[in-house]
Chain A
Amino acid sequence: MTTPDVYTLTRRGLWQGARASVPLGVASAVLGAGFGVAARQVDLALWATLLMSGSVFAGAAQFAVLPLWSAPLPLAPIWFSTFAVNARFALLSASLTSWLRHYRGATPWITAGLLGEGQWAIAMGAYARGERDLGVLVGSSAVVWLVWMAGTATGYLAAPSLGDPRRFGLDLVLVLFFASTLTSGWRGPRDLVPWGAAALATRIPASIVAPEWQVLVAALVGASVGAWRDTRR
């Protein structure tokens, strides 16, 4: 890229993002199906299951609230748990700000509203190559949303006929995908310091950091340690 400062959002970018999302899409569809199965087990209605997958669009938080799902619904714990588990998204959107601030109007706010780790990793891969087409992120998010919805519906409807997903390692599919994205985020052995700090910080006992906040706190520790290392003289 010879002109790295032209920020665009093109149809070509959308398509590129969509195509780059095939492995991620497969992983999301499988996890979506897992969510559909789990939602049916707690007697969540099909419309409510689809509404949740479509509007919340965050697997970890959706799984986390299912055990709370019986009348009368404990609204405050449901919302608090959702916020705590999803607060890590603020870190992803914060890290995208140097890119998103070049777009006007609703674009950054809609794009941020569709964020997830997988799309973030795909978009940052493109950004690192010097590409500045936000279509990659939007296209990837759109694909993930669609297959997440299709997976949710399929899992819900097919739940009675599906066996134990653990038998095929399917429960691990998304976390393994996230692990694989780390190879493209790897900038060299220097990354071992922030990454090791983040990994260690997930081991902080639950009596100090509640499980819902575990990922957020560990990520903040990792980024702080990395920034401290980068800026100290």
Chain B
Amino acid sequence: MIPDGSSTALAIGGMAAVTYLARAGGLVIARVLPSTPFITAFLKHLGTSVIVALVVATLAKGDGPGFLAAAVTVAIAAIGRPTTALLAGMAVAALIRAL
């Protein structure tokens, strides 16, 4: 059954609220954390760790060509061509799937 408008709005409003809580929560947490050398180094590594984890987790869930496409993308991005890298990665995935 299709949910009515008010419960749909309520559900989406709640999603927006918890998402904002997550986005802003990091500022609150980082402000109350003591600034020890460990915490400073920890915060420095956080962002890239999120991206590495997100990329690996997403690719592992998908079908085969994801990792090869990502390897091609990273290799081309490393020589300073981000847009070419993106297109080449997609082309690799499309090609393998077409075979």
Partner-B contacts on A (CB < 8 A): 22-23, 26-27, 43-45, 48, 51-52, 55-58, 60-61, 65, 69-73, 75, 78-79, 82-83, 86-98, 100-101, 108-109, 112-115, 117, 120-121, 124, 166-173, 175-183, 185-186, 191, 194-195, 198-199, 201-203, 214-216, 218-224, 226-228, 230-231
Contacts and interface: CB of A to CB of B under 8 A. Distances in A.
Contacts of A216: 53
B52 A92 contact: no
A66 B25 CA distance: 25
B2 to A, nearest CB: 5
Given A94-B46, A230-B41, A231-B37, A79 B18 contact: yes
B3 A175 contact: no
B86 to A, nearest CB: 6
Most A Cβ at <10 Å: residue of B25, B47, B94, B97: B47
A65 B24 contact: no
B71 to A, nearest CB: 9
B4 A91 contact: no
Contact of A172 (B8, B44, B57, B93): B93
Interface residues of B, number: 73
Contacts of A98: 43
B80 to A, nearest CB: 8
Given A168-B90, A169-B90, A89 B22 contact: yes
Contacts of B74: 179-180, 182-183
Contacts of B55: 175, 178-179, 182
Given A185-B48, A226-B45, A169 B16 contact: no
A230 B39 CA distance: 11
Given A90-B26, A226-B45, A202 B94 contact: no
A231 B12 contact: no
A117 B24 contact: no
Contact of A92 (B8, B50, B70, B86): B50
Given A75-B7, A95-B30, A223-B45, 14 more contacts: A48-B8, A72-B7, A83-B18, A92-B50, A124-B47, A169-B69, A176-B69, A179-B55, A180-B73, A183-B78, A218-B49, A222-B48, A226-B44, A231-B37
A178 B53 CA distance: 11
